[in-house]
Amino acid sequence: MMNMLKQYIRIKQGLSRRLRVVACRTRAYKYKFYGINIGDRCLFGKEIDFLNGCNTSFGNECIIDSYAQFKCPTSANQNSQYNIRISDNVFIGRGTVIDSNLSIGIGKNTFVAPFCFITDTNHSFTEHDIPVRLQGCWYEPVLIGEDVWIGAHVVIVAGVIVGDSSIIAANSTVTRNVPPGAIVGGSPARFIKFRPGFQ
């Protein structure tokens, strides 16, 4: 009796997993229909939000978890078709927001944990007699390399380059470039050590 119950649970879990995959692939086709550039075998969770989604591009086999947001309010870079470029086999965690007015690139095999915020935009604040929100913005591209692990609740600001194979600890604010293979953490993020095989 116990073996039959275990087998029933295993079959039910397997069926549930297959149905979730079908639903995620169906959502990817729906977003393609809306004009968003999406590669092959991508999986999209529930309630993904796009602002000017045609300025966002996904490679093959990406997994985008539920409630992620991809925002391209304007396109300051006239030389590029896409503000946000996500390469093959990238995972974007639940609730992560990627906000681009210029250029944000994420390399292959990168893992972005839940509730991160990545932006290439910052507010100007040089005039003391004008409210900050009325002083306009400035833009600098953000480039995240390949095989990067970005922990939960990380903020990456305009102008940052994150090197290949680096790790950013959870709850960090990245305000300067991260060397390849480095582990950084804190707010603002500081160098901790290199991964084995890097210097």
> Which residue, chain included where needed, has tokens 């990817």?
28
Burial class (CB in 10 A: 0-12, 13-18, 19+), 132: exposed
- Of the given ranges (27-31, 89-93, 157-161), which has the lowest mean pLDDT? 27-31
The residues with which 1 forms a beta bridge, in sequence order, are none
Residue 69 CA, distance from chain mean position: 9
> At 187, is the pLDDT very low, low, confident or very high (cuts 50, 70, 90)?
very high
Mean pLDDT score across all residues of the chain: 87
Give yes or no for residue 12 having a pLDDT over 70: no
- Bin 7: left if φ > 0, else alpha if -120 < ψ < 50, else beta: alpha
Whether pLDDT at 169 is above 90? yes
Maximum C-alpha span of the chain: 77
Q: Is the pLDDT of residue 53 over 90?
A: no
Fold of 2-194: UDP N-Acetylglucosamine Acyltransferase; domain 1 (2.160.10)
pTM (predicted TM-score):
0.86
- 7 pLDDT exceeds 70? no
Catalytic residue among 12, 17, 30, 123: 123
The per-residue b/e assignment along 148-180, b for 16 or more CB within 10 angstroms, e otherwise, is bbbbbbbbbbbbbbbbbbbbbbeebbbeeebbb
Task: Write down the pLDDT at residue 198.
Answer: 86
Instruction: Determine the average pLDDT of the residues in 153-171.
Output: 97
Query: How sure is the predictor about 13, in pLDDT bands with cuts at 50, 70 and 90?
Result: low
d(CA 17, CA 197): 37
> Is 128 annotated in the active site?
no
174 vs 13, higher pLDDT = 174
Check residue 77 and give its pLDDT.
Answer: 65
Contact, 189 vs 177, CB < 8 A?
Answer: no
Compute φ and ψ for 32, nearest 5 degrees.
-60, -40
Return contacts of 44-53, CB within 8 angstroms, 24+ apart.
45/94, 52/83
- Chain-centroid distance of CA 110 in Å reads 9
The domain ranges of the chain are 2-194
* Measured distance CA(169)–CA(75) in Å, rounded: 30
